[in-house]
Structure 1
């Protein structure tokens, strides 16, 4: 069985596609990855990238999207109406594959025409639903909007919402695409996303399978606390990390409020903060009533693992998230997680067992959770459902079922 994973970018840090590819290979599956670009040089000939022209199209699409979305309501996150795309249906890895997995492949890499060319090959095409875009009119998370259950229009993200805005046009195009092919299948990394997908109008009647994401073997609990990014003392370390800290999905403002609550409780000398990721400004750091250690963006899994192993608790303040990889990584490193009861987070965190589930959008309860985990010395641990063996078996079962489609 030959599998190809199609992904926008291949990263050496926390990339679910590379992790799944390695898991499949280690279990005897002939797996490969086809990505637009990479930020590392792989030692695996099964990981391949495109050349200049597709990357040029991607850059043009980024510029066009930025212009189209200039006046968008940023509170609700990103909106993607892909214009440019590359036809990958003739690539050897795609032509020779038995099953094609499409992960996150927007950003000017694939568009609806690209999807159609792949589907026309007649092979099983598995879309992995990493966010809600595949079944909405263009947003990546719908927040409280449920138009995707009927027909997207009057989109809250767009500056001039109407019954005939970009969301309605894209929704109609997707509807035509999904209705034209019987060889399209879907995998949801969380039960929360699976529920949303099954309630969507676009995926009505489609095969949707829930399979959790795996965690890279590079994430492990160390025998003692790491001191790579912070000198250990008698203080407890509160951690946070995200690719883009300022992302509206990550809810950093709630973490900031929670830290201010802890500061008001007179805990300034008990805790310190460790943050990794992009876009943490000095202005924001000044609002945190604790000493802050900021690593910036970490580009490889070994460094990220060191960061988790420096922390006594990891906080994920996401307000819209599917199955945050940071939660899985932190738990695997033995660090308890505090997060809201949103998205797929409750599927990973057991309240007061391997972390704390705070009431949605309550920064005060988030603060209570941080204190609880630190004072109780709670340890992180992955649930059995996230074991590599269970995840791999689910994919093998999916392969077997697709043979008969």
Structure 2
């Protein structure tokens, strides 16, 4: 069996990391897995691009042009990336000419494949959804203030009242509906929440769906001695350390940095402890958390698994105050390192966290509830071995890669 993964990038961002982990897991089990991207940067085995330098430059120009078109629409309450899938990259023709048996699409935005190119792929398609774009318009996640437009065809009537400019979202949705009519995509949702959203969508509700968690190398993410981790990072060994981190931790509204600040303020107000400090990665690199008296440590951004393993292992509690999230890598990675998570009960958090056993789930989006959960977890030590064992059982390659192989065989009728 020859499997081709298609993702815009092979490094950077949660989708790329998750797709690469699946690719590596399949290769580790002897599968002929290849990873197609616009411009390889990781140097990992099996990763390639058939585009020559001139074509890669053209792809970049198309991405810039698409971004300028998307920016004509103003969506103040949904400022995240919007993707058009407008310009063909040429990868679609290469895919059809290749000898692969099944195509596993991942995050194919940034003009990696146009909507029409996806429609013209002649090989069976498995599509791992890393966000909501496959069944929405141009948006990648729902508008939190005007939710649910994707449950019905996009019309002027259900356009958010505060949106201005051309109706890009509706235009992209209509292009998808026309191009993909009659096509079958075998959707994979890493969380039950995302599977439910796809099922409720007007665009993809009829497509077959399977819930398979993103694989994690649980040998790469495993606990190390907490004292040793603190020493490596220059952090105090005799303090309780609360960790927050994400790609765009302090700038992406979905990740809930403002909700974290409110929760830490509530923690100080209601559960004040002098032995608690906060550490953060993936956002600002210095300064203090505004309005919070707890000592803070800004660790910068990490791109390698070993550094992240050290950071997680130094923490007592990980906090994920997200407003929206599918199956965040950070929460899974922390659990594999034996660190429990306090989070709001949204998205795929309940797929990762067993409330009271491997963490806690607070009602969204109450600062007092999240603060109480953090305090409870700090006062009730969790057995790291138990937290890790649950993560290994759910997210290890041994638990997830066979499910993908079974799906590929079903798709191929083997």
1:395 — aligned with what?
Answer: 404
1:237 — aligned with what?
Answer: 241
Choose which of 270, 283, 289 in structure 2 pairs with 1:278.
283
2:293 — aligned with what?
Answer: 289
Choose which of 318, 321, 334 in structure 2 pairs with 1:317.
321
Q: CA deviation at 1:197?
A: 0.5
Please, what TM-score do these two structures have when normalized by structure 2?
Answer: 0.88
1:169 — aligned with what?
Answer: 171
Q: CA deviation at 1:74?
A: 4.4
1:130 — aligned with what?
Answer: 130
The structure with the largest strand share of the pair is 1
2:7 — aligned with what?
Answer: 7
Distance (Å, rounded) in 2 between the aligned partners of 1:26 and 1:51: 29
8 A contact 1:251–1:319 mirrored in 2? yes
Q: For the structure 1 residues 396 and 94, does the alpha-carbon distance in structure 2 shift closer, same or farther, using more than 3 Å as the test? A: farther
Distance (Å, rounded) in 2 between the aligned partners of 1:113 and 1:328: 35
8 A contact 1:212–1:391 mirrored in 2? yes
Distance (Å, rounded) in 2 between the aligned partners of 1:304 and 1:157: 42
Name the SS of the counterpart of 1:293 in structure 2: strand
Q: Runs ≥4 in structure 1, deviation > 6 angstroms?
A: none
Task: Spell out, residue by residue over 1:238-267, the C-alpha distance to the aligned partner (whole angstroms, 9 max, x if none).
Answer: 001111111121111110111111222463
Q: CA deviation at 1:63?
A: 5.4
Task: Spell out, residue by residue over 1:108-129, the C-alpha distance to the aligned partner (whole angstroms, 9 max, x if none).
Answer: 2222132133x2x2x1111111
Q: For the structure 1 residues 403 and 71, does the alpha-carbon distance in structure 2 shift closer, same or farther, using more than 3 Å as the test? A: closer
Q: For the structure 1 residues 371 and 265, does the alpha-carbon distance in structure 2 shift closer, same or farther, using more than 3 Å as the test? A: same
Please, what TM-score do these two structures have when normalized by structure 1?
Answer: 0.90
Q: Do structure 1's residue 107 and structure 2's residue 116 form an aligned pair?
A: no
1:267 — aligned with what?
Answer: 272
Distance (Å, rounded) in 1 between the aligned partners of 2:233 and 2:65: 36
Distance (Å, rounded) in 1 between the aligned partners of 2:202 and 2:410: 24
8 A contact 2:82–2:138 mirrored in 1? yes
Gaps of 5+ in 2: none
8 A contact 1:139–1:157 mirrored in 2? no
Distance (Å, rounded) in 1 between the aligned partners of 2:357 and 2:57: 45
Q: CA deviation at 1:327?
A: 0.8
Q: CA deviation at 1:81?
A: 2.0
Distance (Å, rounded) in 2 between the aligned partners of 1:4 and 1:94: 13
Q: For the structure 1 residues 204 and 40, does the alpha-carbon distance in structure 2 shift closer, same or farther, using more than 3 Å as the test? A: closer
1:194 — aligned with what?
Answer: 195
Name the SS of the counterpart of 1:244 in structure 2: coil
2:30 — aligned with what?
Answer: 28
Q: CA deviation at 1:368?
A: 0.8
Gaps of 5+ in 1: none
Distance (Å, rounded) in 2 between the aligned partners of 1:212 and 1:240: 22
Q: CA deviation at 1:155?
A: 3.5
Q: For the structure 1 residues 70 and 243, does the alpha-carbon distance in structure 2 shift closer, same or farther, using more than 3 Å as the test? A: farther
Q: For the structure 1 residues 337 and 101, does the alpha-carbon distance in structure 2 shift closer, same or farther, using more than 3 Å as the test? A: same
Task: Spell out, residue by residue over 1:325-352, the C-alpha distance to the aligned partner (whole angstroms, 9 max, x if none).
Answer: 1111000000111100000001110111
8 A contact 1:13–1:299 mirrored in 2? no
Q: For the structure 1 residues 279 and 86, does the alpha-carbon distance in structure 2 shift closer, same or farther, using more than 3 Å as the test? A: farther
1:57 — aligned with what?
Answer: 59
Name the SS of the counterpart of 2:272 in structure 1: coil
2:82 — aligned with what?
Answer: 79
Q: Within 5 Å, give how 1:360-399 maps onto structure 2.
A: 360-378=364-382, 379=384, 380-381=387-388, 382-383=390-391, 384-399=393-408
Distance (Å, rounded) in 1 between the aligned partners of 2:8 and 2:299: 26
Q: Which moved more, 1:330-339 or 1:241-250?
A: 241-250
Q: Which moved more, 1:75-84 or 1:323-332?
A: 75-84
